[in-house]
Amino acid sequence: MEIQWFPGHMAKAHRMIKEHLKLVDVVIELLDARIPVSSANPMIHEVIENKPRILVLNKEDLAEPEWTERWVKYFTGRGLPVVKLNSATGRGMRELVGRVEAIGGDKMARLAAKGIKGRAIRAMILGIPNVGKSSLINRLLGTAAVRTADKPGVTRGKQWIRIGKTLELLDTPGVLWPKLEDADVAFKLALTGAINDDVYDLEKVIHQFLAWLKQYHSERLLARYQLSVPLPVDDGELLGRIGAKRGCLRSGGIIDYEKAGKIVLQEFRAGKLGPITLDYPPEPVNQGNE
């Protein structure tokens, strides 16, 4: 699946990031813990260059814990500070703030030595759409002061947010890259909601996801949708069985495949299929259940 999608507001956001990077001390890059590689925007890496950076594996509750731990070891082993986070519950928030203060504190000390005192540490939050930036800021603030939604592209303008006396955050819109040439990356971004659902082939994505589930987590399918073994070889037939179990029927008893597909998609995103990791560390390890 190839997607070419670079809305005007994303191009503007990319320019804004480059313009304001000089104002910040630390970059916080949010990644989806389910897809740490696929949710990392290579354009962001080019822009921030040598600016101090902290990686945040957000939505860790939706990812498989053992794989998240392997990702932490992978990034840490490459000299990148990394924090596991669930911005919905606040788990990992204290550690993140501590990491930002520790990294930014070095610069504050240098400024203080020059007679510049009292300035808060300035951090820029970057990430692709729907990775949880606004939810993170809301959790830090303790209020829903920043507009959020469970769909990409809601936050569109620059916002400075003061967090206590020691930290200022610059929120930025989510930025995708102009062309998603890697079909596997495009599939994972569509599946996790980083791409608007109306710009890709939903049926194709669902069929590919069901094939993946059959290979690595067939027990999840059997349990969640009360299916019998053996599972159908054909993914369309499998979706039909799920639709029948969930009452996705049109007049005449015809399966509504689109409705069934949307149910699978929504339940994956809500974690109702259990924690699932789709990206694996680039090391010779086995995928799926061990």
Q: Is 272 annotated as a binding residue?
A: no
In angstroms, rounded to a whole number, what is the distance separating the alpha carbons of residues 218 and 214? Answer: 4
Q: SS3 of 198, please? A: helix
Q: SS3 of 182, please? A: coil
Q: Is 86 annotated as a binding residue?
A: yes
Q: SS3 of 250, please? A: strand
Q: Is 228 annotated as a binding residue?
A: no
Q: Is 253 annotated as a binding residue?
A: no
Q: Is 59 annotated as a binding residue?
A: yes
Q: Is 262 annotated as a binding residue?
A: no
Q: Is 79 annotated as a binding residue?
A: no
In angstroms, rounded to a whole number, what is the distance separating the alpha carbons of residues 265 and 258? Answer: 11
Q: Is 41 annotated as a binding residue?
A: no
Q: Is 39 annotated as a binding residue?
A: no
> Could you tell me if 200 and 1 are in contact, meaning their C-beta atoms sit under 8 angstroms apart?
yes
Kindly state the tokens that stand for 46: 């080019």
Q: Which residue has the tokens 């082993």?
A: 77
In angstroms, rounded to a whole number, what is the distance separating the alpha carbons of residues 120 and 108? Answer: 8
Q: Which H/E stretch holds residue 169?
A: strand 167-171
Q: Is 179 annotated as a binding residue?
A: no
Q: Is 131 annotated as a binding residue?
A: yes
Q: Is 247 annotated as a binding residue?
A: no
Q: Is 60 annotated as a binding residue?
A: yes
In angstroms, rounded to a whole number, what is the distance separating the alpha carbons of residues 186 and 246? Answer: 28
**What residues form the annotated binding site?**
58-61, 86-87, 130-135, 174
Binding site per annotation, positions for GTP = 58-61, 86-87, 130-135, 174
